[in-house]
Amino acid sequence: MGFNEILFERKNGVAVLTLNRPDIRNVISTPEIIEEIETACKIVNSDIGIRVMVITAADPAFSSGGNVKDMMERKGMFGGSPAQLMDNYRKNIQRIPLAVHSVEIPTIAAVNGPAIGAGCDLALMCDIRVASEKASMGETFLNVGIVPGDGGAWFLPRVVGMAKACEMIFTGDVLDAEEALRVGLLNYVVSHESLMEKTMEIAGKIARKPPEALRMAKRLLYCSQSESLARHLDQAAALQALCHTTEDHREALNAIAEKRDPRFSGK
């Protein structure tokens, strides 16, 4: 499909999704952008040739989250009775965490500027976060009298721990890039000019791994958050057995023996 609210590019096994509404600070609460993000996630899951997905945005902001003007006017997904509002959240913005979290390949957020509210949560939905020195991150929902409605209270404690998540949500403070790095919200902070260079360096390193095993490794990591050790070991053994029968496993062993770089085919 054609995209209007985002840019979607593929190169050397890496897909780059760019939020492309800088005029409204890349808000992610409109039906159009929600559908396009969801569609991009489906594309990467269906293409074994895509090994990594990067989510970034057109400057100057990563995303300001929900459209505050629409909230004030009680229109779009922010209008209606309490029952209708609940349904609006489920049918609209909550599709984003479900789509991004279900991406089977590694995801990297390249945070180019302020990531506020649901924008912060979009970055948290990714596996790895690289940020520009111009970035800032904040769980600011209580500042406007609401709660994290898009999964932020689920994602944030898994990234920074419960105590820091409580502090961020209860105070609504916005952290600059260095503080976000210090508390574990970010993996790297780099100059604004080198943001995509650093992001693509990491993406390229990941994209060179065997694609099926890469997807299995991500599955194991996230399943481990909600299952017992015994159940996790059973699943690890099953996936490991599959990996041992792949052509990519044999290629990796041959490459080690022949002292060369492996050439993985996804088989």
Q: What is the pTM of this model?
A: 0.95
Residue 117: is it exposed, middle or buried by C-beta count within 10 angstroms (0-12/13-18/19+)? buried
pLDDT of residue 2: 85
pLDDT of residue 109: 98
**Cβ neighbours of residue 87 closer than 8 Å, sequence gap 6 or more:** none
- At 98-133, the pLDDT tens digits run 999 999 999 999 999 999 999 999 999 999 999 999
- The DSSP line for 24-69 is GTT---SHHHHHHHHHHHHHHHH-TT--EEEEEESTT-SB--S-HH
- In the predicted model, residues of the chain with pLDDT beneath 70 are 1
- CATH classification for the domain delimited by 6-207, as one of 3.20.20.80, 3.40.718.10, 1.20.1740.10, 3.90.226.10: 3.90.226.10
Q: Which two tokens stand for residue 118?
A: 């649901």
User: Would you say 106 and 165 are in contact if contact means Cβ atoms under 8 Å apart?
Assistant: no
pLDDT of residue 37: 98
pLDDT of residue 69: 86
Q: Report the alpha-carbon distance of residue 87 to residue 77 in Å, rounded.
A: 9
Residue type, 63: S
Angle at the Cα of 227 from the Cα atoms of 225 and 228, rounded to 5 degrees: 120
